[in-house]
Amino acid sequence: MRNEMKQLFMVISFLSVLFVSPLPTLAETDVFSDIQGQMGQDIMEAYDLQLVNGYPDGTYRPNEEVTTAQFSTILSRVFAEHEVDVSLGSGDATPLTREEAAYYMNLGLGLEKQAEGFSDVPNSSPYAGDIGAVQQTGIITGYSESHFGYGDTLTRAQAAVFALRVYHYLDPFELEETTIADIQAAMDRGKLTAEELVGMYLERIDLYDQQGPAINSIITINPEAEAIARELDEERAVSGPRSPLHGIPVVVKDNFDTVDMATSAGCLCLKDSFPLDDAEQIKLLKDAGAIIIAKANLHEFAFGITTVSSLGGQTLNPYNLDYLPGGSSGGTGAALAANFAVAGLGTDTGGSIRIPAAFNSLVGIRPTIGLTSRDGIIPLALTQDVGGPLARTVADAAHMLDVTAGYDEKDVVTAWSKGQIPASYTDYLDVDGLQGARIGVARELFSDAAESEEVNRLVEQAVRDMERLGAEMIDITLPNLEEISQYPSLSSWEFKFQLNDYLAELGPDAAHQSLTDIIESGDIEDSMRDSLIARNERESLDEEEYKDIVLFRTRLTQESIMKVMADHELDAIVYPTTTHPAAMVGQSQTSGANNRLSAFSGFPAISLPAGYTSVGTPVGVELLAGRFEEPTLLKLGYSYEQGTRHRKAPALLQ
């Protein structure tokens, strides 16, 4: 009896430290002093959910053993939060083993016992079925495919991670701010179907895009989206998902060819233009099981950065309806910010992916020219054009890049991508990715205009955050910046000729055969007329001025970036995505020339959420790296994203 009382006293005493004693607030400690990496992130999330506590000295002591009493207490909190009626018992001070943890978790989950394939789990073990069942959910895994760690005691770190996984496993599916991983997990657990998901997004589009605040981001809704989703659900049930994008609703800018929906570039003149086949990136998405749920508005023919078109009208910024969403991929940007789809595609000739990413608190990637095919994209200037992903998270952007990158015989420049594409871009999602990185800070790309003050403040904070997260931030001066900045975009030269080539590919029954036909039709945005006429007056690309720009601008920009990166041994260069914040609807929008570094060099860049202005509009920070260094950008971007968590849904739509 004395030993039992002593044991009980030890349990109560230890629990009082582990679960009752006050801790310094997060504002004081930010994280426990002895945790780091992804496991540290999970421990902190479990702490935020009040599932676990640390010690009064600000440590967590992740490697200490956990007793059955302690784990029972943690799981009881998880199950009580989700109204699961189960009794786990009070436990005792005996150290808990990994197999016992599986048993305790399955008591509340109530899963059917499953066979497991670990070589170190005895066939006679009473816990084998629980291990197999919980393993199927992904909540608990082995040290390797063949080794479970049978008999090993559970650590405090593992207890927090397992409890957090159980917590999220029991969470009901929530559409707002969901991710590709969240959706696949919900589908794997039978909580969600692709058809249900499409229906939820269509309802949200109707509620917020067509009515209510009327964001006006969508031009066309796919009438077959629900039928396609049903077919994908049936396929999943028989053979499993094709890829992480199986059943994932995607919205694409309406200058990507879609054989089953008109492709308009936002122009009334092309409102009934059906291409003969899908753009290569659209085909790749469909092959991966993605659902093109809708096509998004854009600045007509991708000419500007305010996203207004004769067919789609003016798109609004979901964070503040009085402000612009950026462009030219502003419809895709606003739609994703407003949670009308999971991820999307935009195009970028100057800054048309990254500007709407900045103004809508999104991740936007302008890939290396040659990484993704431009086949089937209505061109603006193929010397600079590229299509790439927009998403709410770096991970989702990486999933999109996995599917859309690669060689396409119809776009010869993609031959450069051979041997440059990793097995998966998601392999580079490292929460500690900024540790030891060397990043050049291009402060000459900050604007000294009064209206740029908030942008500068937020991007300077981003620089400090990157340093806090382990990067060495080095002030740099970009060689030849003034000369580079004086070069024009080539859209004023190439557009007419490349558009005419595109129109010819639509076949003899196409409504318009040339830019001249389009101008004469009158079915264009009034503010576009003069620009279209000026471009239509170009007579040839066989002019020395044009050839000099193509040759010298590209070489000078590439060599200048490469030199400064080599001189300072940099992984990337950082600067504001745009020098100015989002402007009010009806006013002119200034973005600055920072976006041209990537466009003129052909090197990749990523825009990341950096915070919000006093009127609630988002601001972005951009990272630029060398050719085909998308893995580096994803690693750095993911680390920054996870260390700052700036992205939040628009308050107007909650």
Q: Are 510 and 273 in contact (CB under 8 A)?
A: yes
The radius of gyration of the chain from alpha carbons, rounded to an integer in Å, stands at 27
Catalytic pick from 76, 309, 352, 591?
A: 352
* Nearest-5° Cα angle at 444, 441 to 446: 85
Is 253 labeled as catalytic in the residue annotation? yes
User: Active site includes 496?
Assistant: no
Query: What is the C-alpha separation between 232 and 242, in angstroms, rounded?
Result: 9
Task: Give the whole-angstrom CA distance, residue 524 versus residue 309.
Answer: 8
Cis, bond preceding 239 (omega within 30 deg of 0): no
Please answer whether residues 66 and 94 qualify as being in contact, where contact means their C-beta atoms are separated by less than 8 angstroms: no
Which amino acid is residue 366, in one-letter code? Answer: R
Marked catalytic residue, from 264, 273, 328, 489: 328
Residue type, 529: R
- Asked if the peptide bond before residue 328 counts as cis, ω within 30 degrees of 0, the response is yes
Q: Report helix, strand or coil for 627.
A: coil
Among 342, 357, 349, CA closest to 288: 342
Q: If 0-12 CB within 10 Å is exposed, 13-18 middle and 19+ buried, where does residue 322 land?
A: middle
Q: For 377, which DSSP code?
A: B
Residue type, 570: L
Catalytic residue selected from 72, 217, 253, 639: 253
Q: Name the token pair of 94.
A: 């005996």
- Active-site residue, 328 included: yes
Amino acid identity of residue 56, one-letter, is P
- Report the distance separating Cα 45 and Cα 647, nearest Å: 16
Provide the 8-state DSSP code for 207: I
> Closest Cα to residue 310, out of 318, 298, 321?
298
Q: Please list the active-site residues.
A: 253, 328, 352
